Amino acid sequence: MTTYRSDDVLVGLIGIAILCWIGWIIVRGFRNAELPIGRGQVRRDERPGAFNVLLGLYFIAAAVVGFIALDLLFGIRSRA
């Protein structure tokens, strides 16, 4: 299966947009001391352990999306 370079660039730019959205959620979570999960919120003062786990999951998601977006935009070709 072949893909065109324009497809990689488009999906990479969408990945960068998702990365910005995740970053906005993380910054807002630090500022307001609450993170969204589904339709609810996890507050730092009520459940600090759950807040830290959710924050870690957001950081992992940001790292994975960022790596994939960089791979698609700059052609790192990390695939085996």
Residue 13 lies in a domain: yes
- Quote the DSSP letter at residue 28: H
First to last CA, the chain: 15
Q: Rounded mean pLDDT of 24-49?
A: 93
pTM of the model: 0.84
Residue 41 lies in a domain: yes
Residue 79 lies in a domain: no
Q: Rounded mean pLDDT of 21-46?
A: 94
Give tens-digit pLDDT for 53-76: 999 999 999 999 999 999 888 888
Residue 17 lies in a domain: yes
Which residues have a Cβ under 8 Å from the Cβ of 77 and sit 6 or more positions away? 71
Number of domains observed in the structure of the chain: 1
Domain extent, residue 22, equals 5-74
pLDDT surpasses 70 at 2: no
Within 10 A of 52 (CB to CB), how many other CB atoms are there?
13
Q: Give dist(CA 33, CA 59) in Å, integer.
A: 16
Residue 80 lies in a domain: no
